[in-house]
Chain A
Protein backbone atom coordinates (compact mmCIF):
# COMPACT_ATOMS: atom_id res chain seq x y z
CA UNK A 1 0.00 0.00 0.00
CA UNK A 2 2.74 2.41 0.97
CA UNK A 3 5.56 3.17 -1.40
CA UNK A 4 8.58 3.98 0.68
CA UNK A 5 11.76 4.51 -1.26
CA UNK A 6 14.21 4.61 1.61
CA UNK A 7 17.62 5.94 0.77
CA UNK A 8 20.47 6.09 3.24
CA UNK A 9 21.60 9.54 4.22
CA UNK A 10 24.04 11.13 1.90
CA UNK A 11 25.67 14.52 1.60
CA UNK A 12 27.25 15.88 4.73
CA UNK A 13 26.79 12.77 6.80
CA UNK A 14 30.18 11.17 7.22
CA UNK A 15 31.78 8.57 9.44
CA UNK A 16 29.69 6.69 11.96
CA UNK A 17 25.98 6.94 11.49
CA UNK A 18 25.01 7.74 15.04
CA UNK A 19 21.29 8.25 15.58
CA UNK A 20 20.55 11.23 17.82
CA UNK A 21 16.80 11.19 17.53
CA UNK A 22 14.37 8.43 16.71
CA UNK A 23 10.61 8.04 16.53
CA UNK A 24 9.02 4.60 16.25
CA UNK A 25 5.33 4.03 15.56
CA UNK A 26 4.16 7.34 16.93
CA UNK A 27 0.39 7.69 17.25
CA UNK A 28 -1.51 10.74 18.33
CA UNK A 29 -5.17 11.64 18.04
CA UNK A 30 -7.27 14.51 19.27
CA UNK A 31 -10.72 13.00 19.77
CA UNK A 32 -11.69 11.50 16.42
CA UNK A 33 -8.93 13.33 14.61
CA UNK A 34 -6.15 10.77 14.10
CA UNK A 35 -3.30 13.13 13.34
CA UNK A 36 -0.34 10.74 13.46
CA UNK A 37 -0.59 7.06 12.52
CA UNK A 38 2.51 4.95 13.03
CA UNK A 39 4.94 7.70 12.15
CA UNK A 40 8.63 6.69 11.99
CA UNK A 41 11.72 8.83 11.67
CA UNK A 42 15.46 8.84 12.41
CA UNK A 43 17.79 11.78 12.65
CA UNK A 44 21.50 11.05 12.18
CA UNK A 45 24.20 13.09 13.84
CA UNK A 46 25.21 16.15 11.87
CA UNK A 47 22.54 15.88 9.20
CA UNK A 48 19.79 18.25 8.09
CA UNK A 49 16.58 16.28 7.88
CA UNK A 50 13.61 18.03 6.34
CA UNK A 51 10.10 16.88 7.14
CA UNK A 52 7.62 18.11 4.60
CA UNK A 53 3.87 17.92 4.86
CA UNK A 54 0.74 19.88 4.05
CA UNK A 55 -0.49 22.41 6.54
CA UNK A 56 -2.55 20.66 9.20
CA UNK A 57 -0.89 17.31 8.53
CA UNK A 58 0.50 17.09 12.07
CA UNK A 59 4.07 18.36 11.65
CA UNK A 60 3.90 20.62 14.68
CA UNK A 61 2.19 17.92 16.73
CA UNK A 62 5.01 15.51 15.84
CA UNK A 63 7.79 17.95 16.73
CA UNK A 64 6.05 18.84 20.01
CA UNK A 65 5.80 15.17 20.93
CA UNK A 66 9.57 15.04 20.47
CA UNK A 67 10.21 17.46 23.32
CA UNK A 68 7.33 16.30 25.50
CA UNK A 69 5.11 19.34 24.96
CA UNK A 70 2.40 17.00 23.71
CA UNK A 71 1.90 13.52 25.14
CA UNK A 72 1.90 10.84 22.46
CA UNK A 73 -0.80 8.15 22.60
CA UNK A 74 1.70 5.42 21.80
CA UNK A 75 5.11 4.93 20.26
CA UNK A 76 8.75 5.30 21.21
CA UNK A 77 10.52 8.63 21.14
CA UNK A 78 14.19 8.51 21.95
CA UNK A 79 16.40 11.55 22.06
CA UNK A 80 20.10 10.85 22.34
CA UNK A 81 19.28 7.28 23.37
CA UNK A 82 16.90 8.33 26.15
CA UNK A 83 13.21 7.49 25.96
CA UNK A 84 11.63 10.84 26.75
CA UNK A 85 8.32 9.35 27.87
CA UNK A 86 9.99 7.71 30.85
CA UNK A 87 11.94 10.72 32.12
CA UNK A 88 10.99 12.71 35.20
CA UNK A 89 10.70 16.50 35.01
CA UNK A 90 14.30 17.23 36.05
CA UNK A 91 15.79 14.75 33.60
CA UNK A 92 13.48 16.03 30.88
CA UNK A 93 14.59 19.62 31.51
CA UNK A 94 18.23 18.62 31.27
CA UNK A 95 17.59 16.75 28.03
CA UNK A 96 15.60 19.68 26.64
CA UNK A 97 18.54 22.00 27.19
CA UNK A 98 20.38 19.98 24.54
CA UNK A 99 17.55 20.58 22.09
CA UNK A 100 16.91 23.97 20.53
CA UNK A 101 13.36 24.66 19.40
CA UNK A 102 12.53 27.41 16.93
CA UNK A 103 8.78 27.96 17.06
CA UNK A 104 6.60 28.58 14.05
CA UNK A 105 5.78 32.19 14.92
CA UNK A 106 9.10 32.97 16.67
CA UNK A 107 7.33 32.91 20.09
CA UNK A 108 9.38 35.74 21.57
CA UNK A 109 8.19 36.84 25.02
CA UNK A 110 6.53 40.09 24.08
CA UNK A 111 6.68 41.63 27.54
CA UNK A 112 10.48 41.33 27.60
CA UNK A 113 13.28 43.06 25.73
CA UNK A 114 15.48 41.16 23.30
CA UNK A 115 18.14 40.89 26.01
CA UNK A 116 15.67 39.48 28.56
CA UNK A 117 14.36 37.06 25.94
CA UNK A 118 17.86 35.68 25.45
CA UNK A 119 18.63 35.61 29.16
CA UNK A 120 15.48 33.64 29.92
CA UNK A 121 16.81 30.16 28.99
CA UNK A 122 19.94 30.91 31.02
CA UNK A 123 17.93 31.28 34.24
CA UNK A 124 17.65 27.53 34.65
CA UNK A 125 20.58 26.26 32.70
CA UNK A 126 23.45 28.48 33.77
CA UNK A 127 25.14 25.35 35.13
CA UNK A 128 25.94 24.40 31.53
CA UNK A 129 28.57 27.09 31.49
CA UNK A 130 31.58 27.82 33.63
CA UNK A 131 30.82 29.53 36.94
CA UNK A 132 32.21 32.92 36.04
CA UNK A 133 30.70 32.95 32.56
CA UNK A 134 29.18 36.36 31.99
CA UNK A 135 25.58 36.15 30.72
CA UNK A 136 26.11 39.43 28.93
CA UNK A 137 28.90 37.90 26.84
CA UNK A 138 26.71 34.92 25.97
CA UNK A 139 23.82 37.15 24.95
CA UNK A 140 26.06 39.36 22.81
CA UNK A 141 27.68 36.38 21.15
CA UNK A 142 24.32 34.82 20.31
CA UNK A 143 23.03 38.10 18.89
CA UNK A 144 26.17 38.66 16.85
CA UNK A 145 25.67 35.20 15.34
CA UNK A 146 22.41 36.45 13.83
CA UNK A 147 23.69 39.95 13.12
CA UNK A 148 21.41 41.77 15.52
CA UNK A 149 23.69 43.02 18.30
CA UNK A 150 22.28 46.53 17.86
CA UNK A 151 18.72 45.41 18.65
CA UNK A 152 19.56 44.19 22.16
CA UNK A 153 17.41 46.69 24.06
CA UNK A 154 14.42 46.72 21.72
CA UNK A 155 11.07 45.07 22.41
CA UNK A 156 9.92 42.26 20.06
CA UNK A 157 7.05 44.42 18.79
CA UNK A 158 9.62 46.92 17.48
CA UNK A 159 11.25 44.28 15.24
CA UNK A 160 10.24 43.15 11.75
CA UNK A 161 9.12 39.56 11.22
CA UNK A 162 12.54 38.59 9.87
CA UNK A 163 14.35 40.18 12.79
CA UNK A 164 12.02 38.44 15.24
CA UNK A 165 12.84 35.11 13.63
CA UNK A 166 16.57 35.88 13.98
CA UNK A 167 16.21 36.81 17.64
CA UNK A 168 14.25 33.60 18.19
CA UNK A 169 17.09 31.73 16.52
CA UNK A 170 19.61 33.44 18.77
CA UNK A 171 17.54 32.47 21.80
CA UNK A 172 17.48 28.89 20.56
CA UNK A 173 21.26 28.90 20.13
CA UNK A 174 22.19 30.43 23.44
CA UNK A 175 22.32 27.10 25.27
CA UNK A 176 24.46 25.67 22.45
CA UNK A 177 22.09 22.79 21.69
CA UNK A 178 23.24 19.63 19.97
CA UNK A 179 19.98 19.20 18.10
CA UNK A 180 17.87 22.01 16.68
CA UNK A 181 14.22 21.60 15.76
CA UNK A 182 12.91 24.20 13.34
CA UNK A 183 9.13 24.49 13.00
CA UNK A 184 8.56 26.21 9.65
CA UNK A 185 11.54 28.57 9.96
CA UNK A 186 10.63 30.51 6.83
CA UNK A 187 6.84 30.67 7.16
CA UNK A 188 5.33 34.12 7.12
CA UNK A 189 8.49 35.70 5.70
CA UNK A 190 9.04 37.22 2.27
CA UNK A 191 11.27 35.18 -0.10
CA UNK A 192 14.37 37.34 0.43
CA UNK A 193 14.16 37.27 4.21
CA UNK A 194 13.40 33.55 4.04
CA UNK A 195 16.60 33.05 2.08
CA UNK A 196 18.57 35.00 4.70
CA UNK A 197 17.19 32.76 7.42
CA UNK A 198 18.17 29.66 5.42
CA UNK A 199 21.72 30.97 5.00
CA UNK A 200 21.84 31.68 8.73
CA UNK A 201 20.71 28.12 9.46
CA UNK A 202 23.46 26.76 7.21
CA UNK A 203 26.08 28.94 8.93
CA UNK A 204 24.97 27.72 12.34
CA UNK A 205 25.09 24.13 11.19
CA UNK A 206 28.66 24.62 10.00
CA UNK A 207 29.80 26.55 13.04
CA UNK A 208 28.37 24.31 15.78
CA UNK A 209 28.01 21.03 13.89
CA UNK A 210 24.44 20.56 15.08
CA UNK A 211 21.93 18.00 13.89
CA UNK A 212 18.79 19.65 12.59
CA UNK A 213 15.22 18.64 12.03
CA UNK A 214 13.50 21.14 9.78
CA UNK A 215 9.76 21.18 9.28
CA UNK A 216 8.51 23.05 6.28
CA UNK A 217 6.13 23.08 3.37
CA UNK A 218 8.39 25.45 1.45
CA UNK A 219 10.05 23.58 -1.45
CA UNK A 220 12.82 26.18 -1.84
CA UNK A 221 13.75 25.84 1.80
CA UNK A 222 13.77 22.05 1.51
CA UNK A 223 15.96 22.13 -1.61
CA UNK A 224 18.45 24.51 -0.03
CA UNK A 225 18.95 22.82 3.28
CA UNK A 226 18.01 19.15 3.18
CA UNK A 227 20.45 16.28 3.26
CA UNK A 228 17.51 13.94 3.42
CA UNK A 229 13.74 14.30 3.52
CA UNK A 230 10.72 12.56 5.01
CA UNK A 231 7.29 13.29 3.60
CA UNK A 232 4.53 13.32 6.18
CA UNK A 233 1.37 12.35 4.34
CA UNK A 234 -1.82 10.90 5.86
CA UNK A 235 -0.21 10.94 9.30
CA UNK A 236 2.66 8.69 8.45
CA UNK A 237 6.16 8.76 6.92
CA UNK A 238 4.87 8.22 3.40
CA UNK A 239 8.16 8.57 1.54
CA UNK A 240 11.80 9.19 2.35
CA UNK A 241 14.89 10.10 0.37
CA UNK A 242 17.02 12.95 -0.89
CA UNK A 243 15.40 15.99 -2.43
CA UNK A 244 16.58 14.99 -5.90
CA UNK A 245 15.22 11.46 -5.57
CA UNK A 246 11.85 12.54 -4.26
CA UNK A 247 11.38 15.34 -6.75
CA UNK A 248 11.36 12.86 -9.64
CA UNK A 249 9.03 10.41 -7.90
CA UNK A 250 6.06 9.20 -9.90
CA UNK A 251 3.78 8.81 -6.88
CA UNK A 252 0.99 11.38 -7.31
CA UNK A 253 0.93 12.31 -3.61
CA UNK A 254 4.69 12.92 -3.63
CA UNK A 255 4.59 14.75 -6.97
CA UNK A 256 2.05 17.20 -5.60
CA UNK A 257 4.72 18.69 -3.35
CA UNK A 258 7.21 19.47 -6.06
CA UNK A 259 5.19 20.87 -8.96
CA UNK A 260 4.82 24.60 -9.01
Chain B
Protein backbone atom coordinates (compact mmCIF):
# COMPACT_ATOMS: atom_id res chain seq x y z
CA UNK B 1 0.00 0.00 0.00
CA UNK B 2 2.71 2.46 0.99
CA UNK B 3 4.72 1.30 -2.01
CA UNK B 4 1.79 2.11 -4.24
CA UNK B 5 1.25 5.57 -2.77
CA UNK B 6 4.99 6.14 -3.10
CA UNK B 7 4.80 5.41 -6.82
CA UNK B 8 1.78 7.66 -7.07
CA UNK B 9 3.60 10.58 -5.50
CA UNK B 10 6.58 9.98 -7.79
CA UNK B 11 4.33 10.13 -10.83
CA UNK B 12 2.65 13.24 -9.49
CA UNK B 13 5.99 15.02 -9.03
CA UNK B 14 7.06 13.95 -12.49
CA UNK B 15 3.89 15.26 -14.12
CA UNK B 16 4.20 18.52 -12.19
CA UNK B 17 7.79 18.88 -13.44
CA UNK B 18 6.64 18.22 -16.99
CA UNK B 19 4.02 20.94 -16.63
CA UNK B 20 6.51 23.49 -15.30
CA UNK B 21 9.02 22.49 -17.96
CA UNK B 22 6.39 23.03 -20.67
CA UNK B 23 5.79 26.51 -19.36
CA UNK B 24 9.54 27.14 -19.34
CA UNK B 25 9.76 25.83 -22.91
CA UNK B 26 6.99 28.14 -24.06
CA UNK B 27 8.83 31.06 -22.49
CA UNK B 28 12.01 29.96 -24.27
CA UNK B 29 10.31 30.06 -27.67
CA UNK B 30 8.69 33.39 -26.91
CA UNK B 31 11.89 35.03 -25.75
CA UNK B 32 14.09 33.62 -28.51
CA UNK B 33 12.18 35.69 -31.06
CA UNK B 34 12.61 38.91 -29.12
CA UNK B 35 15.45 41.25 -29.87
CA UNK B 36 18.29 41.68 -29.10
CA UNK B 37 19.85 38.30 -29.78
CA UNK B 38 22.94 37.66 -27.66
CA UNK B 39 25.02 36.29 -30.51
CA UNK B 40 28.39 36.56 -28.80
CA UNK B 41 27.23 34.62 -25.76
CA UNK B 42 25.66 32.00 -28.06
CA UNK B 43 28.97 31.47 -29.87
CA UNK B 44 30.85 31.35 -26.58
CA UNK B 45 28.48 28.65 -25.33
CA UNK B 46 28.76 26.62 -28.55
CA UNK B 47 32.51 26.74 -28.33
CA UNK B 48 32.69 25.78 -24.69
CA UNK B 49 30.18 22.92 -25.11
CA UNK B 50 32.06 21.51 -28.07
CA UNK B 51 35.33 21.96 -26.28
CA UNK B 52 34.13 20.22 -23.12
CA UNK B 53 32.48 17.19 -24.71
CA UNK B 54 34.27 16.45 -28.00
CA UNK B 55 36.87 14.10 -26.51
CA UNK B 56 34.29 12.30 -24.39
CA UNK B 57 31.93 11.84 -27.33
CA UNK B 58 34.84 10.65 -29.48
CA UNK B 59 36.03 8.06 -26.99
CA UNK B 60 32.58 6.64 -26.23
CA UNK B 61 31.72 6.55 -29.95
CA UNK B 62 34.95 4.76 -30.79
CA UNK B 63 34.51 2.16 -28.07
CA UNK B 64 30.87 1.54 -28.96
CA UNK B 65 31.79 0.96 -32.62
CA UNK B 66 34.59 -1.35 -31.60
CA UNK B 67 32.58 -3.35 -29.09
CA UNK B 68 29.48 -3.61 -31.24
CA UNK B 69 31.50 -5.09 -34.09
CA UNK B 70 33.48 -7.46 -31.89
CA UNK B 71 30.34 -8.71 -30.17
CA UNK B 72 28.26 -9.33 -33.28
CA UNK B 73 31.06 -10.78 -35.40
CA UNK B 74 30.82 -14.41 -34.11
CA UNK B 75 27.06 -14.50 -34.61
CA UNK B 76 27.26 -13.14 -38.14
CA UNK B 77 30.07 -15.63 -38.88
CA UNK B 78 27.85 -18.48 -37.78
CA UNK B 79 25.31 -17.50 -40.40
CA UNK B 80 28.01 -16.73 -42.95
CA UNK B 81 26.87 -13.14 -43.04
CA UNK B 82 29.99 -11.24 -41.99
CA UNK B 83 29.82 -9.22 -45.19
CA UNK B 84 26.66 -7.61 -43.82
CA UNK B 85 28.62 -6.16 -40.94
CA UNK B 86 29.06 -2.63 -42.37
CA UNK B 87 25.37 -2.31 -43.15
CA UNK B 88 24.29 -3.62 -39.80
CA UNK B 89 26.69 -1.49 -37.77
CA UNK B 90 26.07 1.56 -39.97
CA UNK B 91 22.33 1.40 -39.55
CA UNK B 92 22.37 0.73 -35.84
CA UNK B 93 24.90 3.45 -35.10
CA UNK B 94 23.33 6.12 -37.26
CA UNK B 95 19.72 5.38 -36.44
CA UNK B 96 19.92 4.65 -32.76
CA UNK B 97 23.15 4.11 -30.89
CA UNK B 98 25.05 7.19 -32.06
CA UNK B 99 22.38 9.78 -31.20
CA UNK B 100 21.41 8.07 -27.96
CA UNK B 101 24.91 7.52 -26.56
CA UNK B 102 26.09 10.99 -27.58
CA UNK B 103 23.01 12.59 -26.03
CA UNK B 104 23.41 10.62 -22.80
CA UNK B 105 27.07 11.55 -22.55
CA UNK B 106 26.20 15.19 -23.21
CA UNK B 107 23.39 15.10 -20.65
CA UNK B 108 26.02 14.14 -18.09
CA UNK B 109 28.61 16.57 -19.34
CA UNK B 110 26.72 19.60 -20.67
CA UNK B 111 23.33 19.30 -18.96
CA UNK B 112 24.75 18.96 -15.46
CA UNK B 113 27.23 21.73 -16.21
CA UNK B 114 24.44 24.12 -17.18
CA UNK B 115 22.39 23.10 -14.12
CA UNK B 116 25.31 23.74 -11.78
CA UNK B 117 26.37 26.98 -13.44
CA UNK B 118 22.93 28.61 -13.54
CA UNK B 119 22.15 27.16 -10.10
CA UNK B 120 25.15 28.81 -8.53
CA UNK B 121 24.37 32.03 -10.38
CA UNK B 122 20.86 31.94 -8.91
CA UNK B 123 22.04 31.18 -5.38
CA UNK B 124 24.72 33.88 -5.37
CA UNK B 125 22.23 36.42 -6.79
CA UNK B 126 24.14 36.87 -10.06
CA UNK B 127 20.90 36.37 -11.98
CA UNK B 128 19.23 39.08 -9.90
CA UNK B 129 22.22 41.36 -10.49
CA UNK B 130 21.88 40.82 -14.22
CA UNK B 131 18.21 41.66 -14.12
CA UNK B 132 18.62 44.94 -12.22
CA UNK B 133 21.38 46.02 -14.58
CA UNK B 134 18.94 45.94 -17.49
CA UNK B 135 19.88 42.65 -19.14
CA UNK B 136 17.14 40.05 -19.41
CA UNK B 137 18.80 37.03 -17.75
CA UNK B 138 16.42 34.59 -19.42
CA UNK B 139 17.56 35.76 -22.83
CA UNK B 140 21.20 36.13 -21.92
CA UNK B 141 21.59 32.84 -20.05
CA UNK B 142 18.77 30.48 -21.01
CA UNK B 143 18.04 31.28 -24.66
CA UNK B 144 21.71 31.24 -25.66
CA UNK B 145 22.42 27.97 -23.88
CA UNK B 146 19.36 26.14 -25.17
CA UNK B 147 20.04 27.27 -28.73
CA UNK B 148 23.66 26.23 -28.31
CA UNK B 149 22.78 22.69 -27.21
CA UNK B 150 20.15 22.39 -29.96
CA UNK B 151 22.80 23.34 -32.48
CA UNK B 152 25.76 21.49 -31.01
CA UNK B 153 24.26 18.09 -30.08
CA UNK B 154 23.43 17.15 -33.71
CA UNK B 155 26.95 18.20 -34.65
CA UNK B 156 28.43 16.08 -31.88
CA UNK B 157 26.18 13.19 -32.92
CA UNK B 158 27.60 13.32 -36.46
CA UNK B 159 31.13 13.32 -35.09
CA UNK B 160 30.29 10.49 -32.67
CA UNK B 161 28.74 8.46 -35.51
CA UNK B 162 31.78 8.94 -37.71
CA UNK B 163 34.23 7.91 -35.00
CA UNK B 164 32.03 4.94 -34.05
CA UNK B 165 31.98 3.73 -37.64
CA UNK B 166 35.72 4.18 -37.83
CA UNK B 167 36.11 1.98 -34.72
CA UNK B 168 33.97 -0.67 -36.33
CA UNK B 169 36.01 -0.44 -39.54
CA UNK B 170 39.23 -0.98 -37.58
CA UNK B 171 37.94 -4.28 -36.22
CA UNK B 172 36.80 -5.42 -39.67
CA UNK B 173 40.11 -4.34 -41.13
CA UNK B 174 42.16 -6.26 -38.56
CA UNK B 175 39.98 -9.37 -38.43
CA UNK B 176 38.58 -9.60 -41.93
CA UNK B 177 41.05 -7.54 -43.96
CA UNK B 178 38.30 -5.24 -45.25
CA UNK B 179 39.55 -2.08 -46.95
CA UNK B 180 38.50 1.39 -45.83
CA UNK B 181 36.82 2.08 -49.13
CA UNK B 182 34.90 -1.17 -49.26
CA UNK B 183 33.72 -0.79 -45.70
CA UNK B 184 32.42 2.73 -46.06
CA UNK B 185 30.97 2.09 -49.52
CA UNK B 186 28.85 -0.61 -47.98
CA UNK B 187 27.83 1.58 -45.07
CA UNK B 188 26.62 4.37 -47.34
CA UNK B 189 24.98 2.00 -49.80
CA UNK B 190 22.78 0.49 -47.15
CA UNK B 191 21.80 3.85 -45.65
CA UNK B 192 18.67 5.58 -46.83
CA UNK B 193 17.20 8.97 -46.18
CA UNK B 194 14.75 7.15 -43.99
CA UNK B 195 17.64 6.37 -41.68
CA UNK B 196 19.38 9.71 -41.70
CA UNK B 197 16.53 12.22 -41.55
CA UNK B 198 14.69 10.87 -38.48
CA UNK B 199 18.01 10.45 -36.67
CA UNK B 200 18.95 14.06 -37.38
CA UNK B 201 15.56 15.40 -36.31
CA UNK B 202 15.78 13.29 -33.19
CA UNK B 203 19.21 14.72 -32.39
CA UNK B 204 17.85 18.27 -32.52
CA UNK B 205 15.19 17.32 -30.01
CA UNK B 206 17.80 15.65 -27.82
CA UNK B 207 19.79 18.89 -27.87
CA UNK B 208 16.72 20.93 -27.05
CA UNK B 209 15.87 18.64 -24.14
CA UNK B 210 19.39 18.75 -22.69
CA UNK B 211 19.52 22.54 -22.83
CA UNK B 212 15.99 23.11 -21.57
CA UNK B 213 16.17 20.76 -18.61
CA UNK B 214 19.64 21.94 -17.57
CA UNK B 215 18.54 25.57 -17.69
CA UNK B 216 15.19 24.83 -16.03
CA UNK B 217 16.82 23.08 -13.09
CA UNK B 218 19.50 25.72 -12.70
CA UNK B 219 17.28 28.76 -13.20
CA UNK B 220 14.87 27.67 -10.47
CA UNK B 221 17.56 26.33 -8.19
CA UNK B 222 16.81 25.82 -4.50
CA UNK B 223 18.67 27.68 -1.77
CA UNK B 224 22.28 27.12 -0.83
CA UNK B 225 25.02 24.84 -2.08
CA UNK B 226 22.74 21.84 -1.54
CA UNK B 227 20.36 23.39 -4.06
CA UNK B 228 23.12 23.69 -6.65
CA UNK B 229 24.11 20.03 -6.22
CA UNK B 230 20.50 18.97 -6.53
CA UNK B 231 20.04 21.12 -9.65
CA UNK B 232 23.02 19.53 -11.39
CA UNK B 233 22.06 16.04 -10.34
CA UNK B 234 18.38 16.20 -11.18
CA UNK B 235 19.21 17.84 -14.52
CA UNK B 236 21.04 14.66 -15.52
CA UNK B 237 18.42 12.26 -14.18
CA UNK B 238 15.48 14.13 -15.65
CA UNK B 239 17.20 14.68 -19.01
CA UNK B 240 18.17 11.01 -19.35
CA UNK B 241 14.62 9.93 -18.70
CA UNK B 242 13.36 12.50 -21.18
CA UNK B 243 15.87 11.34 -23.82
CA UNK B 244 14.48 7.81 -23.70
CA UNK B 245 10.93 9.11 -23.93
CA UNK B 246 11.81 11.30 -26.94
CA UNK B 247 13.61 8.36 -28.52
CA UNK B 248 10.57 6.16 -28.07
CA UNK B 249 8.27 8.77 -29.57
CA UNK B 250 10.67 9.41 -32.45
CA UNK B 251 10.99 5.75 -33.36
CA UNK B 252 7.26 5.27 -33.06
CA UNK B 253 6.55 8.30 -35.25
CA UNK B 254 9.13 7.32 -37.86
CA UNK B 255 7.67 3.83 -37.98
CA UNK B 256 4.16 5.12 -38.65
CA UNK B 257 5.46 7.62 -41.17
CA UNK B 258 7.33 5.03 -43.25
CA UNK B 259 4.51 2.53 -43.13
CA UNK B 260 2.31 4.94 -45.04
Which residues of A pack against B, CB within 8 Å?
64, 67, 69, 93, 96-97, 99, 101, 103-105, 107-111, 120-121, 123-125, 171, 175
Could you tell me the distance between the alpha carbons of A103 and B133 in the complex, rounded to whole angstroms? 12
Evaluate contact between B128 and A64: CB separation under 8 angstroms: yes
Q: B12 in the interface, Cβ–Cβ < 8 Å?
A: no
What secondary structure prevails in chain B residues at the interface with A? helix
The residues of B that contact A109 with a CB separation of less than 8 Å are 121, 126, 129-130
- Per a CB cutoff under 8 Å, which of B117, B132, B134 touches A69? B132
The residues of B that contact A125 with a CB separation of less than 8 Å are 133-134
Which residue from chain A places its CB closest to the CB of B135 in the assembled complex? A124
The residues of A that contact B130 with a CB separation of less than 8 Å are 109, 120
- A-B pairs, 8 with minimum CB distance: A124-B134, A121-B133, A107-B125, A107-B129, A103-B125, A93-B134, A101-B132, A107-B126
The residues of A that contact B131 with a CB separation of less than 8 Å are 69
Which residue from chain B places its CB closest to the CB of A97 in the assembled complex? B134
Which residue from chain B places its CB closest to the CB of A60 in the assembled complex? B125
Evaluate contact between B128 and A121: CB separation under 8 angstroms: no
Q: B72 in the interface, Cβ–Cβ < 8 Å?
A: no
The residues of B that contact A110 with a CB separation of less than 8 Å are 120, 124, 126
Could you tell me the distance between the alpha carbons of A175 and B132 in the complex, rounded to whole angstroms? 12
Given A104-B125, A105-B124, are A99 and B132 neighbors across the interface (CB < 8 Å)? yes
Could you tell me the distance between the alpha carbons of A108 and B127 in the complex, rounded to whole angstroms? 10
CB 8 Å contact bits of B190-206 with A (1 = contact, 0 = none)? 00000000000000000
Which residue from chain B places its CB closest to the CB of A102 in the assembled complex? B129
Which residue from chain B places its CB closest to the CB of A124 in the assembled complex? B134
Which size bracket describes the interface of B in this complex? 10 to 19
Inter-chain CB contacts under 8 Å: number: 49
| Given A96-B134, A125-B133, 14 more pairs with CB closer than 8 A | A69-B128, A69-B131, A93-B134, A96-B133, A103-B128, A107-B129, A109-B126, A109-B129, A109-B130, A110-B120, A120-B133, A121-B133, A121-B134, A123-B134
Evaluate contact between B126 and A123: CB separation under 8 angstroms: no
- Per a CB cutoff under 8 Å, which of B117, B124, B126, B133 touches A124? B133
CB 8 Å contact bits of B101-130 with A (1 = contact, 0 = none)? 000000000000000010011001110111
The residues of A that contact B120 with a CB separation of less than 8 Å are 110
The residues of A that contact B117 with a CB separation of less than 8 Å are 111
Could you tell me the distance between the alpha carbons of A83 and B126 in the complex, rounded to whole angstroms? 25
Which residue from chain B places its CB closest to the CB of A94 in the assembled complex? B134
The residues of B that contact A175 with a CB separation of less than 8 Å are 133
Could you tell me the distance between the alpha carbons of A241 and B131 in the complex, rounded to whole angstroms? 33
Interface residues of B in 119-167 (CB under 8 A from A): 120-121, 124-126, 128-135
Selected A-B contacts with CB under 8 Å, 6 pairs: A69-B131, A99-B132, A105-B124, A107-B129, A109-B121, A124-B134
The residues of B that contact A96 with a CB separation of less than 8 Å are 132-134
Looking at B117, B121, B129, B130, the one whose CB has the most chain A CB atoms below 10 A away is: B129
Which residue from chain B places its CB closest to the CB of A111 in the assembled complex? B117
Which residue from chain B places its CB closest to the CB of A93 in the assembled complex? B134
The residues of A that contact B124 with a CB separation of less than 8 Å are 105, 107, 110
Could you tell me the distance between the alpha carbons of A123 and B131 in the complex, rounded to whole angstroms? 12
Return B190 CB to nearest CB of chain A, in Å.
46
Could you tell me the distance between the alpha carbons of A56 and B120 in the complex, rounded to whole angstroms? 21
Return B67 CB to nearest CB of chain A, in Å.
38
Return A92 CB to nearest CB of chain B, in Å.
9
Could you tell me the distance between the alpha carbons of A107 and B129 in the complex, rounded to whole angstroms? 7
Which residue from chain B places its CB closest to the CB of A105 in the assembled complex? B124
The residues of B that contact A64 with a CB separation of less than 8 Å are 128
Could you tell me the distance between the alpha carbons of A121 and B130 in the complex, rounded to whole angstroms? 8
Return A121 CB to nearest CB of chain B, in Å.
4
- Per a CB cutoff under 8 Å, which of B121, B126, B129, B135 touches A101? B129
Return A170 CB to nearest CB of chain B, in Å.
13
Return B59 CB to nearest CB of chain A, in Å.
27
The residues of A that contact B135 with a CB separation of less than 8 Å are 120, 123-124
Which residue from chain A places its CB closest to the CB of B134 in the assembled complex? A124
Return B132 CB to nearest CB of chain A, in Å.
5
Looking at B117, B124, B133, the one whose CB has the most chain A CB atoms below 10 A away is: B133
Which residue from chain B places its CB closest to the CB of A67 in the assembled complex? B132
